[in-house]
Structure 1
Amino acid sequence: MVRYLDPEEHPELGEERRHRSSPGQRLARVRERNAALTGSAAIEAAREVALRKLDARACSRAELTSAIEGRGFSADLALQVVDRLEAVGLVDDQAYADALVRSRFSGTGASGRALREVLVRKGLEPGIIERALSQISRDDEAERAAQLVARKRRSLAGVPRQSAYRRLCSMLARKGYSPSVASNAVRDALDEWHAGSSDDDEGWGWEVS
């Protein structure tokens, strides 16, 4: 026999159902509630969304406006809140782009096209992107590419030169380096490795593929 429990007499049932709702359902309720807010209440709630994002990590204007709108607030309100955060120095797209480029370049070795794609996804303006990328000189790229290639030396022992060349150039291309920078870095490294090897060194007597 199925027992019926009146939600009025058992409020914990409503709480249990609330916890069982899907993330999509919970977000829909949040969006509906936020959309109904007006005046200072709406501004404060939207500002809280932005500040929570900034507490986690630095963000671009576009990321913050998208986050605010995604919680049910209007585009106009999102713009108003982000403008205010920018005015007080909590949002700075150029500083954000500059730091992101430096971090990715020094950390993962990403450069050129790969970095540009990241900055575009962040919603940054073209002028800001170009200024951020200009921090990396041609010499910086060549040096970083050489470092990335050097890390692969041990794993390529015994690999025919042409195969090693293709693998290394592909690796640099995925990280955003131009064909000329990649080719120069790889050729220089392969020539150095071969010149520094002896007939007794296993793997560095290059074979022709």
Structure 2
Amino acid sequence: MCLRLLSFSPRTRAQLADALRRKGVDDEVAEQVLGRYTEVGLIDDEAFARAWVQSRHNGRGLARRALAAELRQRGVADETVKDAVEELAPEQEESAARELIAKRMAATRGLDPTKRTRRIVGVLARKGYPGSLSYRLVREALEAEGTEELPDIPVDD
């Protein structure tokens, strides 16, 4: 069963343990199987977490906070999550945020600057970006665009 699941996509140890539990596999047997799979390298939560961070950041533009939450949902240990998201450089995160802002700026052109700012900051917040970074980058984008009345929206992280 574990091999079948792993043949479709990489899984964490916790995901495989849940699958075995749902199928009624004895906990002791499940632990032996998972231990052996870990020993031979079929299960590697650290590699899974690193690959997840790069894939989801590059593909969806997710920030550290959102990536950490997704990894925790998949049962990855906190220390492993921390190590994986720390590999994402702040410059990478800021660059991805700028790309998202550029897309949303084009889509919200013509709206009131305050409304634009709230919408774009909201998009970034849902992707896990801190409010202070989001607001600063949106403000810079509005200034670069030549928006005369820049909104003053308080942001809490």
Does TM-score exceed 0.5, indicating one fold? yes
1:141-156 alignment to 2 at 5 Å? 141-156=93-108
Structure 1 residue aligned with 2:20:
68
Q: How many angstroms apart in 2 are the aligned matches of 1:145 and 1:119? A: 20
Kindly report structure 1 stretches of 4+ aligned residues shifted beyond 6 Å. 205-208
Gaps of 5+ in 2: 152-157
Cα distance, 1:207 vs structure 2: 9.1
Aligned: 1:122 with 2:40: no
**CA pair 207-127 structure 1, distance change in 2 beyond 3 A:** closer
Deviation string, structure 1 residues 61-87 (Cα, Å, up to 9, x no partner): 000111111111111111110110111
Does residue 87 (structure 1) correspond to residue 39 (structure 2)? The answer is yes
Q: 1:168 aligns with which of 117, 120, 125?
A: 120
TM (norm. structure 2) is 0.91
Structure 1 CA distance, aligned partners of 2:137 and 2:149? 18
Give the aligned residue type for 1:61: R
Contact 1:61–1:93 (CA under 8 A) maintained in structure 2: yes
How far 1:206 moved relative to its partner?
A: 6.2
The aligned counterpart of 2:2 is: 50
- Counterpart CA distance in 2 for 1:68 and 1:153 is 47
Instruction: Name the SS for the 1:176 alignment partner.
Output: coil
Correspondence for 1:96:
48
Residue of structure 2 in register with 1:17 after alignment: none
Aligned equivalents of 1:135 and 1:188: distance in 2? Answer: 26
Structure 2 counterparts to residues 4-19 of structure 1, below 5 A:
none
Q: Distance in 2 between matches of 1:174 and 1:138?
A: 18
Unaligned stretches of 5+ residues in structure 1: 1-48, 196-204
State the 1:193 CA deviation: 1.4
**Larger radius of gyration between Structure 1 and Structure 2:** 1
RMSD across aligned positions (CA): 1.8
Which amino acid is the alignment partner of residue 77 of structure 1? Answer: V
Question: Which residue identity lines up with residue 99 of structure 1 in the other structure?
Answer: A
Provide the rounded CA distance (Å) in 1 between the counterparts of 2:146 and 2:104. 14
Q: Is the 8 A contact 2:20 2:30 kept in 1?
A: yes
Worse overlay, 160-169 or 137-146: 137-146
**Higher RCO structure (Cα 8 Å, ≥6 apart):** 2
Identity rate of aligned residues, in percent? 32
Equivalent residue number for residue 154 of structure 2: none
Report the CA distance between 1:152 and its aligned residue. 1.5
